[in-house]
Amino acid sequence: MSALAPPIEPVWRFWRWVRNPAFWTTVADAFAILTALALPWSTSAVSILMLCWLGSAALMIDYGIYARSLKRPIFALPIALFALAVVGMLWSGASRNEQLHAIGPLVKLLALPGLFYHFERSARGKWVFIAFLISCAIMAVVSWVVAFYPDLTLKPVNERFCGVFVKNYIDQGQEFSLCAVALAYPVMMLLKQQRPVLAGLLAAIALGFIVNMAFVIASRTALATMPLMLAVFAFRYLDRRGIIALGMAVVVVGLAWAVTPRMCRTVETLARDFEFYQKYNTPTSAGLRMEYWKKSLRFISEAPLVGHGTGSTRGLFEKAATDHAGYATANVVANPHNQTFGVAIQWGVIGVILLYAMWLSHLLLFLPGRGFAAWIGLLVVVQNVLTSLFNSHIFDFHAGWTYVLGVGIAGGMLLKENAGTAVKQRVEA
């Protein structure tokens, strides 16, 4: 027996270590951090890492507590929206493949309750956001390199944009604008703490993102939403003098930005797109959006309460297509490039109510808070709501996962802070 004891003891210790919930919490945190690092670069890596996160996080959940948490709107509403998509298959005229394809983008919402639960108990939520910032900063550097050496991009020749290494300029613009505005809070806090060096470093990183958007590639969605995101920061955290100072800075930067060659081309392209669409039915970027939205309103009016069913969007656009190929009115899509329309076409007013209720519940979670987690969560929700005017950003992979990870992790951190504050107040009372 004594001869067997030495090898058995390490195995037993390893088994106890593996069964320890703290071990799996650390593993889940590591997968979340790796997911944030991968998000600006890869879709397949994010999918694999999130499955790994789900598996590791599931091993340390107290399912009784988790089940009770599902009664809260922030947990329940994402699940309800997904459930509506599943039920919506019953009255859909689309094929089974189209229905499953339409449900797929909503599966990510099921990760939100798990993220809330996990990061309410983890102490490493902030590291996930730091990892995302570092990854986006590296992407900004790579974007400059690709701007000067276009052949280094991983994009196919027919899908290349100046300064885009992988994915697309809309996702890249959303990443850079989110990081640039998010850094406003830590810069403000560091200045209050009289730590100017670190504040200056973060301000320089934020400026780097803005300069890239000004001179390399400009997403029109980011351009339209970034000033509103800054306004949220100003009215949330600054006094009257701070609001005026920030407003003046935004005006000065905006005027300087407006005269950059990249921005001038963007404005000219937008104006030309509308003109060509109106006069010649040309399928320009801006013109197609107008075409999608006009047809979407007609589809919604035909089935306003419950919509046409899950996966029905493409079929409706196919039936509504007119003229010959090459014209805007002949274009067929499964995505109307507006989140509200994308939901309303398939699930009607019921779906829109659930979507807006989910946004509102998450917004109300972060509004009372004043710390870092509250700011990040608020900013992610505001950006998603604003950009969803021009894109279906809950359905889209990159923007959808940015919302799920940002809201889920920041929400969990804030729930933990609120629980700690409540306990402290009871003790002091």
pLDDT band at 17 (very low <50, low <70, confident <90, very high): low
**Is the whole model's pTM more than 0.75, yes or no?**
yes
Instruction: Give the separation between CA 32 and CA 38, rounded to whole angstroms.
Output: 10
Q: What is the pLDDT of residues 48-98, one digit of tens each?
A: 999 999 999 888 888 899 999 999 999 999 999 999 999 999 999 889 999
What percent of the chain has pLDDT above 70?
A: 82
Q: What pLDDT shows up at residue 410?
A: 97
Residue 99 has pLDDT above 60, yes or no: yes
**In terms of pLDDT, which residue wins out, 228 or 260?**
228
Structural domain boundaries in the chain: 1-60, 129-259
Which of 143-152, 261-270, 337-346 has maximum average pLDDT?
337-346
User: What gap in Å lies between CA 166 and CA 43, rounded to an integer?
Assistant: 10
3-state SS string over 185-204? HHHHHHHHCCCHHHHHHHHH
- What confidence score (pLDDT) does residue 354 get? 97
Q: Residue 344 in contact with residue 307, Cβ under 8 Å?
A: yes
pLDDT over 60 at 411, yes or no: yes
**Are the C-beta atoms of 61 and 96 separated by less than 8 Å?**
no
Which residue in 30, 263, 32, 36 sits closest to 138, CA to CA?
A: 36
CB 315 within 8 A of CB 299: no
The pLDDT assigned to 427 comes to 47
Does residue 3 have a pLDDT over 60?
A: no
Is residue 13 predicted with pLDDT exceeding 70? no
The predicted-structure confidence for 244-283, as pLDDT tens digits, reads as follows 877 777 676 666 566 556 655 665 666 666 665 666 566 6
Is residue 377's pLDDT more than 80? yes
Place of tokens 């997904």: 82
